[in-house]
Amino acid sequence: MELVPNSIIDHPSVAKYAKRRGKRADEVLLDRSYHHYAMKRLPEAEKRGRPDIMHFTLLSVLGTPLNKRGLMECYVHTREDKVVVVDPKTRLPRNYDRFLGLIEQLLRFGAVPLDAQPLMKVKELTLPQLIEDLKPSKVIGLSTLGSPKPLRDVCEGASKLPKVMFLIGGFPKGHFSDETLRVTDSLYRIHRESLESWVVASRIVYQWELSQGILY
C-alpha cells in the first residue's frame, strides 16, 4: 500500500483517476487496476499497486476468534518503511472503494479515524526496527523459496513459544527482499503451489487457533 509516487503523478492515467476521485494525484493509492501503464516507470513494479491484497488479507484475519480474543497482533509494513498498527477492534469497510478512501486518509494523516481514538495508525519503522520493538521469540517467514513443511507442523512447533511473528508477503509477484530474509529465523513453504496472501493468513490463524485449543 502506497500513495502514488511523485515520479508518475503527471501521467495521464493517474491524473484522470485522481480527478474522477476529486483528489490530487499524490493523495490517491497506487492501484494497478487504474495505473497500469504509469507503473511501467516504477522500480519493482510487479510487486506494487495492489492494495486489494491487503484489503482481503485484513478482512480474513480481523474477524477471527483468535483476534476477537485479543490473541493476535496485526502489522502492515510498507516498502516506504511505514508500519500500520491495526487495533484488534478495527472493523474495515467491506466495500473496496471505502477501504481505499480509509487507507488514503491513513497514509496522509497518520491515523484513522481523525475525530476519535485511532483504530489504525502509522509509524515510521523499518521491518528490523519493528521486530526489535516487538521482540518476538521467533520470526517465521512463509515463501515458496522456503523449506517444505506442512503448516500444521509449523504452528504446532511454534505454539510452544511465548510470542511468534509470521511474515507474509503482501505482493502479487516476486519474493521477500534480502533485508526481510535476514530477519527471519525460519523460512517455510507450506504448499507445493503459490497461495494468495489472504489464504495463507487465514490458514495460519486457523491452525494457530487449533494449536491453542480455540475451537468454539
Same domain as 84, residue 21: no
**Average pLDDT value for the chain:** 95
Mapped onto helix, strand or coil, the DSSP state of residue 167 is: strand
Report the C-alpha gap between 174 and 139 in whole angstroms: 20
Total Cβ atoms within 10 A of residue 86? 19
> In terms of residue numbers, what domain contains 150?
51-211
- pLDDT score at 115: 87
Q: Residue 161 to residues 32, 53, 97, 164: CA-CA distances in angstroms?
A: 39, 29, 39, 7
- pLDDT (0 to 100) of residue 44: 93
CA distance 37 to 48: 13
115-157 pLDDT, tens digit each: 889 999 999 999 999 999 999 999 999 999 999 999 999 999 8
pLDDT band at 73 (very low <50, low <70, confident <90, very high): very high
- Judged against a pLDDT cut of 80, whether residue 215 lies above it is answered with no
For the chain, how many structural domains are there in total?
Answer: 2
| Residue carrying C-alpha cell 500500500 | 1
216 inside domain: no
pLDDT of residue 34: 94
Check whether residue 94 and residue 152 sit in a common domain. yes
**Same-domain check for residues 186 and 118:** yes
Is residue 1 a part of any domain in this protein? no
Of 101, 104, 73, 103, nearest to 87 by C-alpha is 73
For residues 56 and 27, state if they share a domain: no
Residues 96, 66, single domain; the answer is: yes
With H, G, I as helix, E, B as strand and everything else as coil, classify residue 102: helix
Note whether residue 128 is domain-resident.
yes
Q: Indicate if 179 and 72 belong to the same structural domain.
A: yes
Based on the fold, state whether residues 37 and 57 are members of the same structural domain.
no
Give 65's pLDDT tier (boundaries 50, 70, 90): very high
Q: CATH number, domain at 60? A: 3.40.1280.10
> How is the chain split among helix, strand and coil, in percent rounded to 5?
45, 20, 40
For residues 24 and 114, membership in a common domain is answered with: no
Helix axis angle for 51-62 and 197-211, nearest 10°, is 20
In the chain, % of residues over pLDDT 70: 100
Residues 39 and 56 in one domain: no
User: What is the per-residue pLDDT for 197?
Assistant: 96
Residue-level pLDDT at 142: 97
216 has pLDDT over 90: no
Whether 41 shows a pLDDT value over 90: the answer reads no
Model confidence at 168, pLDDT cuts 50, 70, 90, reads very high
Whether 159 is in a domain gets the answer: yes
Question: Higher model confidence: residue 73 or residue 41?
Answer: 73
Mean pLDDT value across residues 72-101: 95
Same structural domain, 73 and 146: yes
User: Same domain, yes or no, for 23 and 129?
Assistant: no
Co-location of 63 and 42 in the same domain: no
